[in-house]
A and B are shown apart, each in its own frame.
Chain A
């Protein structure tokens, strides 16, 4: 069965998917070269594994494991606090390197990208596999991290390819070889197919991606909705998902969550954490000129149970001042005294373009106009002097206790060892190599 060709055309399109290997841990190994070859784990400040290097993965460490358990299975692991500033710099550079090869690059996540290579063979005087290898080598040479690459006819196939061989792998899947790979790919591992859909498809005897690709279109149209229909086309080598070269300019919702240690039962402190999240979410919404129509607040207790509340706004906004009353209402509804909380979160949902907001007769437009000016000024000040130059007083108690105290309260090295002229808020935008010379 698996010997049937999906298509005979080798490269009608050439879509590349690049996935950095254990990205956060690899960045740490790149700036701390003495850690190369050692089990490295990031996420110290959170108490759980955020990323594990391949050396740590080989010892059985996986994402999300508690650090106390890590010490049992891998006592010699080097556990570091997350240094998102450095990871973001590496991410930007990785995308910049990919853009040297093709302008059609989609920044899919911090450590993943799609790129359209179609038609570039002549320009590079070589096959697509050579372009992929050069890209991989450049990233490794200039950034000191390894990446895995898949190249095939569509995004879904390319993504399957980059997962096929890790770390530092290159998997080329031309049209006439797709079926070899799909026959071995379990249906739930296909990008876009979740556990429920996979279970549903198994009832029809579809166990692998190949089984699914081979089903005829009437079956797909009858039993599945449009997104899965598209995945089916993509698996058959017909590219329907475009490589989105524009950076994300809009959001459906924006969420901000923060964990703090030790956990707290202090009402003003927990509320301050929540309001800081609200301020952050609003900053992001304003950056994209969006306004929220719904506000969701939630609190996570020490035992990891959540309670939340969803509130509807009478007037869409991205101004914290207009949202504090609702936030307080939601908070009072879910906050219980004498309970330890470890995390708070805010979601701005039902986002609409700020320009399309229609005010009702009862809205005080003069006041709204005034607040817009205030927040414009706040945003300008933040840009000039760093984040939180001006903030709401209700968020101030977050300053009493640092976000994470005690052993887990480690701050990344980059924020501790500053160069003359740098400060807590603003540092030079280049990663720092940590070697003693």
Chain B
């Protein structure tokens, strides 16, 4: 993905004096242009990776066009835009497609935004907070035993049931029939639950300890 976009930077656009830009295009035209542009990109990608022009049927596969007639119309359009040409036998020859900057220029409506490229590498807040979406639950905190860890009553914590709890994790656990949220500390065979508030004492399970999940994040919304 990266490789095919190089050479499309706004700088190289600005320097190319042969380019003509159309600015005020209507929405419908813009959509049409975008479609055509993506088709040119596909053909150009094929040309640059394979080192040859695609056949008509290959263009059909690349663009999703079902009939040869539709492909032929597309080729004629690209011919008129001087993107590709045809030789005496009707086979395709690359024209401006050989130098990617020009192709884009002839149909481009405005500068491509540098943001577009960068946005592919961003995370949504969902993906950032939730690692394992099938095993993640929400929980509203009621007590203050983890206040020094920054988890206050009324906060929402995100609990992952899919993770194996490790020493140092904040866990939701059932100790001898009581539910609690504490730091988990494992020392050899012994397991202790440590609060993050000096008001409370560490808990050593007497009979049973069940860990329901690992706290992976806390969310506090102010407004």
Annotate A20-36 by CB proximity to B: 1 below 8 A, 0 otherwise. Answer: 00000000000101100
Interface, chain A (partner B; CB < 8 A): 31, 33-34, 93, 96-97, 141-144, 417, 419-421, 428, 430-433, 435-437
10 A-B pairs with CB atoms under 8 Å apart are: A34-B179, A96-B133, A142-B134, A419-B156, A430-B136, A433-B159, A433-B172, A435-B172, A435-B179, A437-B179
Query: With A144-B161, A419-B221, A435-B172 given, is the CB distance from A430 to B140 under 8 Å?
Result: no
Q: Which residues of A have CB within 8 Å of B145?
A: 437
- The reply to whether A97 and B134 form a contact with Cβ atoms under 8 Å apart is yes
- The reply to whether B141 and A437 form a contact with Cβ atoms under 8 Å apart is yes
- The reply to whether B140 and A33 form a contact with Cβ atoms under 8 Å apart is no
- The reply to whether A437 and B161 form a contact with Cβ atoms under 8 Å apart is no
Q: Which residues of A have CB within 8 Å of B159?
A: 433
A133 to chain B, nearest CB (A): 17
CA distance A421 to B125 in the complex (A): 15
- The reply to whether B161 and A421 form a contact with Cβ atoms under 8 Å apart is no
Q: Which residues of A have CB within 8 Å of B140?
A: 417, 419, 432
CA distance A431 to B137 in the complex (A): 5
- The reply to whether A433 and B212 form a contact with Cβ atoms under 8 Å apart is yes
CA distance A230 to B133 in the complex (A): 39
CA distance A430 to B135 in the complex (A): 9
CA distance A435 to B211 in the complex (A): 13
Q: Which residues of A have CB within 8 Å of B132?
A: 142
Q: Which residues of B have CB within 8 Å of A93?
A: 133-135
- The reply to whether A142 and B162 form a contact with Cβ atoms under 8 Å apart is yes
Query: With A33-B174, A33-B179, A420-B221 given, is the CB distance from A433 to B137 under 8 Å?
Result: yes
Q: Which residues of B have CB within 8 Å of A419?
A: 138, 140, 156, 221
* Chain B residues within 8 Å of chain A by Cβ, number: 27
Q: Which residues of B have CB within 8 Å of A141?
A: 135, 161-162
Interface, chain B (partner A; CB < 8 A): 130, 132-143, 145, 156, 159, 161-162, 172, 174, 179-181, 212-213, 221, 223
Nearest 6 interchain pairs by C-beta:
A142-B135, A437-B181, A435-B179, A93-B134, A420-B221, A433-B139
- The reply to whether B162 and A430 form a contact with Cβ atoms under 8 Å apart is no
Q: Which residues of A have CB within 8 Å of B181?
A: 437
A432 contact from B135, B138, B142, Cβ within 8 A: B138
CA distance A93 to B213 in the complex (A): 16
Q: Which residues of B have CB within 8 Å of A421?
A: 221
A431 contact from B138, B174, B179, Cβ within 8 A: B138
Q: Which residues of A have CB within 8 Å of B134?
A: 93, 96-97, 142-143
A143 contact from B135, B142, B179, Cβ within 8 A: B135
Q: Which residues of A have CB within 8 Å of B130?
A: 430
CA distance A300 to B134 in the complex (A): 40
Query: With A432-B139, A433-B212, A437-B142 given, is the CB distance from A142 to B161 under 8 Å?
Result: yes
Q: Which residues of B have CB within 8 Å of A430?
A: 130, 136-138
B184 to chain A, nearest CB (A): 13
- The reply to whether A437 and B172 form a contact with Cβ atoms under 8 Å apart is yes
CA distance A19 to B159 in the complex (A): 26
Q: Please name the residue on chain A nearest to B135 by beta carbon.
A: A142
CA distance A141 to B161 in the complex (A): 7
CA distance A435 to B172 in the complex (A): 9
- The reply to whether A435 and B221 form a contact with Cβ atoms under 8 Å apart is no
Q: Which residues of B have CB within 8 Å of A31?
A: 137
Q: Which residues of A have CB within 8 Å of B141?
A: 437
Most chain B CB inside 10 Å of its own CB: which residue of A34, A143, A431, A437:
A437
Most chain A CB inside 10 Å of its own CB: which residue of B133, B136, B140, B159:
B140
- The reply to whether A433 and B142 form a contact with Cβ atoms under 8 Å apart is no
Most chain A CB inside 10 Å of its own CB: which residue of B139, B159, B221:
B139
CA distance A232 to B135 in the complex (A): 40
- The reply to whether A435 and B161 form a contact with Cβ atoms under 8 Å apart is no
With A33-B212, A142-B134, A432-B139 known, 10 other A-B pairs at CB within 8 A are: A33-B174, A419-B138, A419-B221, A421-B221, A428-B138, A432-B138, A433-B159, A435-B212, A436-B142, A437-B139
